[in-house]
Amino acid sequence: MQTHEISKRFTEYFVANDHTKVASASLILEDPNLLFVNAGMVQFKPYFLGDAPAPYPRATSVQKCVRTGDIDEVGKTTRHNTFFQMAGNFSFGDYFKAGAIEHAWTLLTNSVADGGYGFDPDRLWATVYNDDDEALELWQKIAGLPLDRIQRRGGEDNYWDMGVPGPGGPCSEIYYDRGPEHGVDGGPEADEDRYLEIWNLVFMQDERGDLSPKKGHPPVGSLPRKNIDTGMGIERVAYLLQGVDNVYETDLVRPVISKAEEMSGRRYGAGNAVDDVRFRVIADHARSGMMIIADGVTPGNEARGYVLRRLLRRIVRSVRLLGVQEPVLGEFAKVVRDTMSPSYPDLASDFARIESVMRKEEETFLATLVSGSKIFDLAADKIKAEGRAMLPGDQAFQLHDTYGFPIDLTLEMAAEKGLSVDENGFRELMAQQRARAKADAASRKTGHGDQSVYRDLLSLGGTEFTGYTDLASESVIRGLVRDGKRVSAAAEGDIVEVVLDRTPLYAESGGQESDAGTITGEGVEMEVLDVQKIARKLWVHQVRVLSGEATEGQHVEATVDQEWRIGARQGHSGTHVVHAALRQVLGPTALQSGSYNKPGYLRLDFAWSGGLSEETKSEIEEVSNLAVRKDLPVRVVYTDMGGAQEMGAVALFGETYDEQVRVVEIGGPWSRELCGGTHVEHSSQIGPITLLGESSVGSGSRRLEAYVGMDAMRYLAKERALVQNLATMLKVPDVEVPARVEALIERLRGAEKELEKLRAGQLLASAGTLVDQAQDLDGTALVALKVPDGVGGNDLRSLASEVRNRLGSRPGVVALFSVVDGKVAFVVATTSTARDNGLAAGKLVPSFASAIDARGGGKPDLAQGGGANADGIGEAVNALRRALGGS
């Protein structure tokens, strides 16, 4: 049975049993605990937690997942994969253990003709949580499993949670006995290679705290309702039903290996275990990398981008170790597209962009690999020649920081040469470099806070948003919240959260800032500071009470600041226009990957490598303003996701959409995006759009910034005033300002060069005076002193060399010190006769280094460096004098 058919049968079975079919969520969701979606239940987490009411009592999905913890094990075994598909059925307070067990058993054991998978019931086993007698009895009653094919297991095996505070519960797993040729008797407890887990049924009833029940710690509470979360591994079922030994030989994975065989001339499974590992790495990472790119990630050096870069670079290196030198990622991308697109059509429709990202990363890495490998080989050969066995951490860090080598690549290359790597030293240097980024990540990586106060308010129904048509709404205060707790009233000066039954105030989302405005009622006035959405259904207004007292149940009027809304609409519609212009100029692969807009301002991040030329930026700006001048109509269409895709609407990466989606069109198909923001009615209402600049925000990602409306006019007015002031000062017409400024700069550069020549000449002319100050120390002439401040770098080295030359054939040592920007710069130079006497410049540095807190070194004839303690120069001179035999 083909993999696509396995997915189809799963979905069809559960839809026929009253489950709502839900599309796979993006691999990128706004969850601070996850880099990637790693389980089928992630998109349903708010329903399990009770943070939002489930829109359906039952659901089914086939969720794409990526787990990155086992990247290093991929290829070494046939069990570890980074990308996989998890088929699941979910119950939100509807059926529980009995229903979950019955559905799983029926689908697995029903005949193929009856829509099932046709597994032999006599080869299926079940496991249950230690004290879950109910599940054990249900397996006997519903499935007819004998007691000797049901095993009790502890929390590590049969308790499920996400590894962070959140939902969890005991689980029951279904295993398939592959037969005695695959291992020993005794069920899953004895051998999980022979007895392969294919389905996990989680009876989700608990809320775990910081400590997991998997480790024996009690849950912190119960979920509001008992739920079911099950997961069937599509790939595992595929290789059982296809009669192969592992996932790498199934219909969707083996073609990638076949392509690698074709390109390399080597064969998978031919007895070369090292090659087999490489083939498996290629197959796994090609699928994972392409699926991650499809959801909007680009290679980079942080977080998701780093994982993606690591996957793609491991493919390239594995292929090169198979003997293939030419670029390969584009070819593997075509294979993944052809095999996976029946289930994921965007792999075909968005292929040009995906392939472009992969090709550019490969080009970058191939250049990196050539230069970095030479550096590594030189370092490794030197280490082995010196009889050592470990690559120092600072060299591993240099390979990462300068040449872009991920540490795992350095580890692999070192292992191939029989060396280890000082990982602790490497990671210490990485920690120093990334301290701020890591601190930021740590501050955001939190569990699920106590949101029970909002659950209670959600039970009264979501907030009705009226802001698409109205700027003011009569409302009722449903709840007041301070410090996470309900309060009955708020007095003047208090800052509290207000939940209304209806509101015209836009809550921050989709890159758009929340509205400013007021909430007023009899005897009370509140200023709205911020508006956020809880569970996408509840509008929470943070307010400052300006006067009076607010109480629950009070009738109020919520009003949007009209000027703010005008600017906000301009900013958001302007973002759509610039995005459409960007795609028109650069092509359809230049997709928005993030945005932020507020009244008068927008910024837009997009997937692109390399900066934009001034001509390109001007063209984008012109296309944007032409769209404004054309007064294009703005239309809003409500439809389902399928309808939006048929319209060609652009969905933004990482966004989560409801069953009904809102499509915003500007000029019909020219700009058509899924969007919940507030917009103008005609493009001319946006006003002028002025690009401020374009910059990099990471590898493969660029950012455009612009002003719109009156802010654009004010910006242009300032620019005009600046040019006019310059024209007045330079006494030339406005149009001649650039040429005159350029001419002045050239004159200034010429003058600076002449001054530099004069200064250098004067400096070298002082060499004779310095030689006259030489001290004779036991036959060696020593010139050691502090020269004027500000002489550093090349100048100090040139002066030291000139003094050395003037010492002629005498044994001599020259040590010159200077203070530059509060730090010490020094150069030590030796004559050839001094070197013949064993005086090497580089070896003299340690004699005085501690006095000036110095770093540096060099060759026997010349050494240079810097120090932090300028007050120690005198002591450094004395220390060098003592080292040469002076007093």
Binding-site annotation: residue ranges for Zn(2+):
572, 576, 675, 679
Can you say whether residue 404 is alpha, beta or left, with left for phi > 0 and alpha for psi between -120 and 50 degrees?
Answer: left
Adjacent-strand bridge partners of 241: none
In contact, 804 and 812? CB cutoff 8 Å: yes
Distances (CA, A) of 86 to 42, 200, 234, 348: 11, 10, 6, 22
The 10 Å Cβ neighbour count of residue 154 is 12
- Cα angle 116, 247, 416 (rounded to 5 degrees) comes to 170
In contact, 292 and 336? CB cutoff 8 Å: no
Buried b or exposed e, range 756-775, using 16+ CB within 10 angstroms: eeeeeeebeeebeebbeebe
Residue 386 CB contacts under 8 Å (≥ 6 apart), including other chains = none
Amino acid occupying residue 570:
Q
CA atoms within 13 A of residue 49's CA, in its CB half-sphere: 26
* Angle between helical axes of 407-416 and 303-321 (0-180°, round to 10): 30
CA dist., res. 762 & res. 494, Å (int): 70
Buried b or exposed e, range 798-829, using 16+ CB within 10 angstroms: bbbbbbbebbeeebbbbbbbbbbeeebbbbbb
- Cα angle 725, 727, 733 (rounded to 5 degrees) comes to 145
CA dist., res. 91 & res. 481, Å (int): 31
In contact, 432 and 421? CB cutoff 8 Å: no
Report the candidate in 742, 687, 745, 740 with the shortest Cα–Cα distance to residue 716.
687
Buried b or exposed e, range 718-728, using 16+ CB within 10 angstroms: eeeeeeeeebe
Distances (CA, A) of 868 to 84, 301, 432, 795: 54, 32, 20, 20
The 10 Å Cβ neighbour count of residue 536 is 15
Adjacent-strand bridge partners of 661: 639
In contact, 482 and 496? CB cutoff 8 Å: yes
The two structure tokens encoding residue 343: 């289930």
Backbone angles phi, psi at 605, to 5 degrees: -95, 140
DSSP string, 481-500: EETTEEESEEETT-EEEEEE
Backbone angles phi, psi at 192, to 5 degrees: -90, 5
Annotated binding residues, written as ranges, equal 572, 576, 675, 679
